[in-house]
Amino acid sequence: MPPRRKIKLSEAAAQALKNKPENNQPPLPPKQPPFEQRYHRITTYLEKEIHQKIKELKTSNKISSITVLINIALKEFIDRYY
C-alpha cells in the first residue's frame, strides 16, 4: 500500500471546516444485540378462547405484537407470584 499523502487545504477551506455548524442532533442510541441474541423461540399450546382473544387484540391494533403481549404477561406473572 502506498504511503498516504498529506493534503494542504487552502486558508478558506480550512476556515470553512473550523466554522462548520455542529450537528445538533442527539447521539444515536447504542445498537441492540441481534434478534437471535435477544429472543429464544418456543412452541406452546394455547386454549382456543385465549388464542382467539389474542388474534382480536392484534387485528384491532390494541397490541403491537403477540410476542410483546406474551413477554409482558409472563414478566408480570413471574414478578407477582415468584
pLDDT tens digits along 7-29: 777 887 777 777 666 667 788 88
pLDDT value for 15: 75
Q: How many domains does the chain have?
A: 1
Which pTM does this prediction carry? 0.57
SS3 percent helix, strand, coil of the chain, rounded to 5, is 50, 0, 50
**Residue 28 domain-assigned?**
no
Burial of 56 (0-12, 13-18, 19+ CB in 10 A): exposed
Compute the distance between CA of residue 57 and CA of residue 66 in angstroms, rounded to an integer. 9
* Residue numbers of the domain that contains 78: 44-82
**Residue 79 domain-assigned?**
yes
pLDDT value for 20: 65
**Residue 53 domain-assigned?**
yes
Instruction: Give the containing element (helix H, strand E) for 30.
Output: none
pLDDT tens digits along 20-74: 666 677 888 889 999 899 999 999 999 999 999 999 999 999 999 999 999 999 9
